Amino acid sequence: MVWPKEVVYQSLRFEQPEICPYYIWVDDDMVEPLSKVYGAESFFGAEGGSKSFKGSYTIMREISALSVSDSGDLYTDEFGTEIRRGSALHVERPALAEPSLKGYEFPDLTSAVHFEGFDSWLRSNLERFKIVQVGMLFWERTWLMRGMENIMMDFHLNPRFVAELLEGLEGVCTVMIDRLLRDYGDQIDAIGLDEDYGSEKSLLISPGTWREFIKPGLARMYERIRAGGKAVYLHSCGHVRPLIPELVDIGVNILQPLQPEANDIFEIKREFGKDLCLMGGISTQQTLPFGSVQDVKSEVEACLRHMAVGGGYVMAPAKPIMPGVPLENARALIDAFVNQKS
């Protein structure tokens, strides 16, 4: 029997697998209604978080900063940022009120607490392609530590501080990458970062600013991952098309989630389909919540027809199947993935 992860490796080598590998993730609030159709045993994952469908060929786990104090709607994480919960994270009080690292110590995120449950996760997913995501700890962490408006101004008014901040955050990520490679290198398949560089219409920062401040550290971390024999993964929401040639140059192997609302995914496949494995591409903002069952089926068929050709594709919704998605559409997506024609 061929394990699902071997099919993903085949796709990573840009070979044509008999079936397109896929990943289905489901918001926790959608698990109960879908369990009535597929059975509760068909969905698994950490309590309180999104769940994965049992047929998925890949599986992801994120390691990130933990809460050190919690007061309901607000919590403070290990970096010292006070965050308000909601559909989007809101920085209530940044860790750094001023553009200075004087007296600041970066946390170590490699303790046993951060890796709690990691061994059992590995054992329960032996057959799947396992991706470990370093969660919101590099570019994303800069705005969490300073606030979005402040960090955007810092790029221009306090560039030396931004460079020092990113250097410190690179250190945090590197220590985590080194532990993953040292202690789990024979059990995981890919390591990468959670880095949203785009809005739906454009990049959040200019390509020149990204190239000057973010790309060098990113390249060093990715070189470390590749030297450890692991595939390099990047999660970046939004319109990221302008950066893709340079992401390929610094060694990104897998780009996720490929939001179709923000990118021409078929153009990206045509241009980079032999250099980059693409993951995602199914609309979770338009087709799944607002389309018809036929719309969902047609979108899956289009991705199989254009994206899966020649390998280099892991089919997935761009986001989890969210609350508000009609049950019939969620079922149409899952069934189309599972029953795709070989």
pLDDT at residue 164 in the model: 98
Structural domains of the chain, ranges and CATH numbers in brackets = 4-338 (3.20.20.210)
**Tokens encoding 90:** 């809101």
pLDDT at residue 89 in the model: 81
Backbone angles phi and psi of 84, in degrees to 5: -100, 130
Q: What is the pLDDT of residues 34-57, one digit of tens each?
A: 999 999 999 999 877 899 999 999
pLDDT at residue 156 in the model: 97
**Is residue 65 a contact partner of residue 78, using CB atoms and an 8 Å limit?**
yes
**Tokens encoding 312:** 């280099």
pLDDT at residue 287 in the model: 98
Closest CA to 335 of 53, 59, 3: 53
Q: What is the pLDDT of residues 219-263, one digit of tens each?
A: 999 999 999 999 999 999 999 999 999 999 999 999 999 999 999
Q: What is the DSSP string of 1-65?
A: ---HHHHHHHHHTT---SS--B--EE-HHHHHHHHHHH-GGGEE-STTS-EEETT-SEEEEEE-P
Q: How many CB atoms lie within 10 A of CB 144?
A: 23
Q: Report the distance separating Cα 331 and Cα 342, nearest Å.
A: 20
Strand (E) positions, 178-288? 190-194, 231-235, 254-256, 277-282
CA angle 221, 147, 233 (to 5 degrees): 25
**Tokens encoding 170:** 């690179």
The list of the chain residues with pLDDT below 70 reads: 87, 341-342
pLDDT at residue 40 in the model: 95
Q: Considering just the CA atoms, what is the radius of gyration of the chain in Å?
A: 20
> Which residues, in sequence order, are bridge partners of residue 63?
134
pLDDT at residue 1 in the model: 72
pLDDT at residue 270 in the model: 97
pLDDT at residue 342 in the model: 52
Gap between the terminal Cα atoms of the chain: 17
Closest CA to 237 of 277, 285, 173: 285
What is the torsion angle, in degrees rounded to the nearest 10, for the CA atoms of residue 187, residue 192, residue 193 and residue 197?
Answer: -150
pLDDT at residue 163 in the model: 98
Look at phi and psi of residue 203 and say left if phi exceeds 0, alpha if psi is from -120 to 50, else beta.
Answer: beta
Q: Report the distance separating Cα 316 and Cα 297, nearest Å.
A: 13
Rounded to the nearest 10 degrees, what angle do helices 327-338 and 28-38 cross at?
70
**Tokens encoding 207:** 């390509």
pLDDT at residue 207 in the model: 97
DSSP, collapsed to helix, strand or coil, labels residue 107 as coil
> Quick one: DSSP state of residue 81?
-
CA distances from 305 to 50, 187, 269, 310, 311 (A): 28, 33, 12, 10, 11
**Tokens encoding 173:** 């990520």
